[in-house]
């Protein structure tokens, strides 16, 4: 068995570094054009250059999304953009539209192409077709079971890789092929501007009784008939590996740095532990505990085990148990002074948990808080302000401080 790649989202440069530091083998991100997260902090050319340098120096790979379904005017400048990505040495592009694939093959034939999940590949025959068009990797639609994935893997040549989502948000439409957002808000989900109307709260109104709204299902909490749960397959690493999946993908380019770090860390530990001794492998509860801290909706296993009708549920609310409150920028061993960059407001005396890539989390107390001028402060209220604390516990650069909402 070959250890699968762990692929993480990178919504911006900080998240790219977090993903790599916490164990991702590769990241995927949006550049300056033609990606399906138009409202993310997409990378400028300079940020992409820095991100590529950071990743490549550590032996990691970077994939750039060009996964919109372009209209005519979206194609302007496509050749130049592809050449720029190739010159920057991106490791692959994620593409869903045949026209963009054709243009990439003509313009930058050496650039690796991955078929985006937006192309809804749900069978081995289609996967063979795309592979013959020069696609190196097929990102499978989320709507497949493990049995179907195994069959696809067995029918494909060995040099055609398959990638599958294992964690994150799901979509009520076929992997994002949805027109509701465009119809309701004028924002086209297939061009990167989804307004997520599936998360809205809907009522039923009878035409002869205007302004009288009734829940679709009588429930005092309302109803959320289009909402989906969050995918979580961390308890099923052996099944994913045995299905022959080459890359395990985490969703979440719009999610926080804390989300990226904690989810990547848990999956990294689970995958590595399995490969240390597959026959003796046992799932560890601490991994799920880690995933439960990050903001999420109710977890489930998606379509992997043949449960296509269990996706919707009665609430659109996120479960948010922990917040990131700071990132360690420096630690002076001689004085026991840690320099922190604020992420959420904290107070003198607060207990926070330290999250780092390798070790289990541990708790410290914020003591002797001072601002950059060395003045005593009772809290750190300002976004990204720099402050110091005193702690006898040795902290490391880029340690993340998280705090329970309780």
Query: 294 exposed, middle or buried (CB, 10 Å; 0-12, 13-18, 19+)?
Result: buried
pLDDT in tens, 190-211: 666 777 777 677 777 777 778 8
- What radius of gyration do the chain's Cα atoms show? 23
Domain boundaries for CATH 2.40.30.10 within the chain: 322-404
Half-sphere exposure for 65 (CA within 13 Å, toward CB): 27
pLDDT, tens digit, 9 for 90 and up, residues 333-346: 999 999 999 999 99
**pTM of the complete model:** 0.85
Q: Which residues contact 270 (CB under 8 A, 6 or more apart)?
A: 234, 237, 283, 284, 287
| Residue 11 CA: distances (Å) to CA of 16, 35, 43, 51, 251 | 7, 12, 8, 11, 11
- What does the pLDDT average to over 211-227? 58
Assigned CATH for 322-404: 2.40.30.10
- In the prediction, which pLDDT does 365 show? 96
pLDDT for 222 equals 44
Spatial neighbors of 368 by CB under 8 A, at least 6 apart, are 376, 388, 389, 390
Cβ atoms of 352 and 403 closer than 8 Å: yes
User: Is the pLDDT assigned to residue 134 strictly greater than 70?
Assistant: yes
pLDDT tops 80 at residue 317 = no
Cβ(338)–Cβ(330) under 8 Å?
A: yes
Closest CA to 258 of 316, 317, 318, 325: 325
User: 239-295, pLDDT tens digit by residue?
Assistant: 999 999 999 999 998 899 999 999 999 999 999 999 999 999 999 999 999 999 988
The CATH classification of domain 5-174+227-300, taken from the options 3.40.50.150, 1.20.140.10, 3.20.20.80, 2.60.40.1180: 3.20.20.80
Q: Which residue spans of the chain are classified as CATH 3.20.20.80?
A: 5-174+227-300
Of 326 and 359, more confident: 326
């Amino acid at each position: 068995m070959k250890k699968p790649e762990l692929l993480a989202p990178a919504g911006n440069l900080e998240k790219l570094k977090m993903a790599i530091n916490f164990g991702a083998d590769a990241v995927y991100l949006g550049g300056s054009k033609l990606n399906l997260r138009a409202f993310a902090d997409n990378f400028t050319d300079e940020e992409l250059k820095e991100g590529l340098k950071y990743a490549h120096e550590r032996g990691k790979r970077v994939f750039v999304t060009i996964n919109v379904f372009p209209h005519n005017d979206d194609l302007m400048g496509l050749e130049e953009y592809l050449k720029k990505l190739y010159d920057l040495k991106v490791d692959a592009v994620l593409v869903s539209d045949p026209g963009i694939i054709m243009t990439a093959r003509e313009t930058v034939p050496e650039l690796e192409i991955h078929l985006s999940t937006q192309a809804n590949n749900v069978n081995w025959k289609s996967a063979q077709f795309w592979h013959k068009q020069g696609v190196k990797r097929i990102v499978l639609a989320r709507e497949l079971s493990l049995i179907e994935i195994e069959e696809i893997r067995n029918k494909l040549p060995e040099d055609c890789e398959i990638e599958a989502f294992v964690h994150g948000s799901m979509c009520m439409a076929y992997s994002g092929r949805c027109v509701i957002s465009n119809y309701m808000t004028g924002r086209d989900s297939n061009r990167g501007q989804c307004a997520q109307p599936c998360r809205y709260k809907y009522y039923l109104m009878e035409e002869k009784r205007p302004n009288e709204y009734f829940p679709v299902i009588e429930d005092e909490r309302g109803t959320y008939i289009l909402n989906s749960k969050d995918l979580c397959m961390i308890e099923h690493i052996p099944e994913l590996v045995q299905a022959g999946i080459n890359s395990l993908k985490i969703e979440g380019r719009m999610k926080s740095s804390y989300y990226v770090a904690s989810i990547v860390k848990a999956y990294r530990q689970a995958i590595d532990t399995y490969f240390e001794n597959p026959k003796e492998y046992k799932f560890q509860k601490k991994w799920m505990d880690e995933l439960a801290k990050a903001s999420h909706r109710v977890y489930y296993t998606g379509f992997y085990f043949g449960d296509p009708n269990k996706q919707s549920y009665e609430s659109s609310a996120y479960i948010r148990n922990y917040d990131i409150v700071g990132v360690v920028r420096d630690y002076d061993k001689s004085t026991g002074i840690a320099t922190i960059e604020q992420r959420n407001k904290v107070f003198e005396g607060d207990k926070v948990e330290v999250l780092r890539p390798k070790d289990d989390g541990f708790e410290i107390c914020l003591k002797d808080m001072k601002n950059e001028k060395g003045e005593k402060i009772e809290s750190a209220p300002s976004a990204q302000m720099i402050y110091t604390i005193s702690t006898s516990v040795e902290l490391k650069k880029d340690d993340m401080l998280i705090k329970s909402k309780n």
